[in-house]
Chain A
């Protein structure tokens, strides 16, 4: 059995396992994806972090209309659907929800948990710039989170314990980084973007030790793997949210003969590009990694950093085009896509495709036509 198969097997048993863990008394702390919550904090408090990142299914979107009006980002809007429909076990497990509030859509997630369920939230705001006062705010937020976790679990988060968890998480991040770095500029990657993303999604609820072991094996397997160049156009993917279960665009890209070779998403991935320093105050070190070094999402202002990052990535990875994937009513992405497209095309000369999803099944045909054309354009340019 190879590593990916082992992972699938582990995940298939994980939901009942988590149920048992909860039954046995360990606290489970849920949080929405977004990368502003250092999981090491939760581990250090003796609780189990559980990232609630399901999306892509139309039914919870429809269901959510009974709870929240439709003008909220699709991913954020449908979260209540997963909870009330009851079929997704992960959404039934949390004892507490921690929400780093990055924008109104995320705040909406916190509001619906508080209003419609008996699971309460702890929120902390993420400022929208990287000035010193903003960093200080984020640091203060992490300190409050620490206090909250301590009072919630009754376990003191000592500096030693926290550093130990940081070390473990650093190793996880390193493994993700190592695997990511096997992807070469302009080449067919050893691991598909969809598989790489699925590793991230696995990290949201898998047993950490098991996942770590699987990632170690997988890395070795991938290193040995002889990758055949497909010659398909290479695409850089950037997204507001790449939710667990939202794989429509990957399937379509596969069908029409293009391939993603790298991805950046505000939500849906575990931050892995930088480790947390073990020197000095661990809170400051985490703030540096999770806030300062983090690629800014579209709702930051100024937002230049993100624009430059994507343009540089496109050049560095020698991609043939960029796909911008966003969810309906995520205004920050919609607005930024306008000036970004202009600049991206001007600077790189590469084609740009924007897709916007409401997790609706009727989108598929339209998406396919557009991605097909996009791939065709890239092919023509290649010749």
Chain B
């Protein structure tokens, strides 16, 4: 029944056979162990990604495996530790490695992030989880983080197991930590928070505030200490280093893809597919080698498509920056491309020069904390504005779509500033759009369509006028 679907996601027949009991148990728990659900999933995954790309299959394989692992974590391990986005990947990878070396009694992962990708873009089953989350302290219409609505819903519905320890993110936004705090009260599990202070001075970025870095680093150390106290697992310096190595490979691969797509004309693949490597940039899994292989494959596939002149939008199409990846649904990305606009790069895939300077910290954990704040979108509005402007200039954008998430408080501050800055300083038109990272019910595709179509026409006309002049 599900062989075809799993093969689209990179599984072999032998593997499906070998994994059958686990697959079926997980599917059952997710409520998709029936013909109709599998059929729907086949359609969903094909609408979201170009599954004929080998790299897409390979990356989906990583997600599917991780998803099943997360759902079955309690059945297969004594201790379950959940790390939740936004969360440092190096640290999670190091803990995963440490847990594995300690004999596998403990499972460490980022099951919610995996679930949002798989539950959203493969099975399309997030709505019941969102609805359950809405009943638990995150009511509808109040712009609560849909990622955490999914988390609460998944735990409450028994799709994901309750962890023994949650490592929560309080360094970037408030809702993540606030929801976990509520969940810890409701479901009686412990949380260790990575905390942060968000007090960068305006226009100070990229000069990182050492105090803030050290403070966040210390909270990471305390979390690692707590993991040791509960499970006996100690994360070593070498494991952290290995985590860094993975991230470095990932940065390299992602930048490769970003630069290649950015320089190509026509745009060689749909940016919808890049959602997958982007996702694995932010999510640590048990399968780092397979993930890196998938990424390398995508680099090769993109290169081949460029060499062969393949394109998903017309050659010479206006170049537009899209400011948000809607993780659980690639419709908005596809819509922009269908309107004949080229998306050279999307969201925060690109690393601007300021992000690539060498670290001055020696302590591994300090480096992790520093890494978080290297990303301009995670500091303040002035840093984000600088990123957008640098990017639009560097990629020679003709326009920008400042889509921002309904659910995300930190990113709801600067969209209008960005529109004004891009128009004023770069002279390119920008449109502000409200979408959502994880909840497709929060925006109407048709309403977006009218505005995107009008915008596309404006941008095309501008481009023609520029060419005529």
A residues in contact (CB < 8 Å) with B = 66-72, 101, 103-105, 107-108, 110-112, 114-115, 120-129, 131, 133-134, 137, 140-141, 298-299, 301-303, 328-329, 331-332, 334-339, 356
Contacts and interface: CB of A to CB of B under 8 A. Distances in A.
Interface stretch (B8-16, B195-203, B284-292, B359-367): B195-203
A101 B202 CA distance: 13
B177 interface: yes
B147 to A, nearest CB: 13
Contact of B137 (A70, A107, A126, A339): A339
Contact of A69 (B173, B218, B412): B412
* Contact-size category for B: 35 or more
B197 A127 contact: yes
7 contacts: A68-B416, A70-B412, A71-B406, A301-B168, A301-B177, A331-B142, A338-B137
A171 B293 CA distance: 68
Nearest to B143: A71
A105 B174 CA distance: 9
A179 to B, nearest CB: 33
A31 B168 CA distance: 30
B178 A71 contact: no
A101 B198 contact: yes
Interface in B125-169: 136-139, 142-145, 168
B248 interface: no
B197 A331 contact: no
B201 A122 contact: yes
B191 interface: yes
Contacts of A356: 142
B178 A299 contact: yes
Contacts of A131: 222
Contacts, number: 151
Contacts of B381: 111, 114-115
A156 B410 CA distance: 36
A131 B404 CA distance: 34
Given A104-B410, A115-B417, A303 B195 contact: no
Contact of A71 (B179, B218, B222, B409): B409
B195 A129 contact: yes
A332 B174 contact: yes
Contact of A137 (B145, B215, B415): B215
A125 B198 contact: yes
B144 A67 contact: no
Nearest to A302: B181
Interface in B171-225: 173-175, 177-182, 185-186, 191, 193, 195-203, 211-212, 215, 218-219, 222
B195 A134 contact: yes
Given A72-B409, A111-B202, A66 B144 contact: no
Q: Which secondary structure dominates where chain B touches chain A? A: mixed
Contacts of B170: 128, 301
Contact of A125 (B139, B199, B382): B199
B414 interface: yes
B434 interface: yes
Contacts of A112: 413
B142 A334 contact: yes
B380 interface: yes
Given A104-B409, A299-B178, A335-B138, A128 B195 contact: yes
A70 B143 CA distance: 10
B233 to A, nearest CB: 23
A111 B200 CA distance: 10
Given A112-B413, A137-B215, A336-B181, 15 more contacts: A69-B413, A101-B197, A104-B198, A107-B198, A107-B413, A114-B381, A125-B199, A128-B170, A133-B219, A134-B195, A134-B215, A299-B178, A328-B142, A331-B175, A338-B136
Contacts of A122: 201
A284 B140 CA distance: 43
Contacts of A72: 409, 412-413
Interface in B400-421: 404, 406, 408-410, 412-417
A108 B144 contact: no
B369 to A, nearest CB: 13
A133 B215 contact: yes
Contact of B413 (A108, A303, A328, A335): A108
Nearest to B181: A301
* Most B-side CB within 10 Å, residue of A70, A101, A107, A335: A335
Nearest to A303: B181
Given A122-B201, A331-B142, A103 B174 contact: yes
Nearest to B142: A334
A43 to B, nearest CB: 23
* Most B-side CB within 10 Å, residue of A123, A141, A329: A123
Q: Which 6 A-B pairs have the closest CB atoms?
A: A125-B197, A338-B137, A125-B199, A114-B202, A71-B412, A111-B381
Given A108-B413, A339-B137, A331 B174 contact: yes
A336 B177 CA distance: 11
Contacts of B137: 334-339
B191 A105 contact: no
* Most A-side CB within 10 Å, residue of B168, B196, B404, B417: B417
A123 B199 contact: yes
Contacts of B382: 111, 114-115
Contacts of A329: 142-143, 409
A69 B195 CA distance: 26
Nearest to A299: B174
A334 B142 CA distance: 9
A309 to B, nearest CB: 16
Contacts of A134: 195, 215
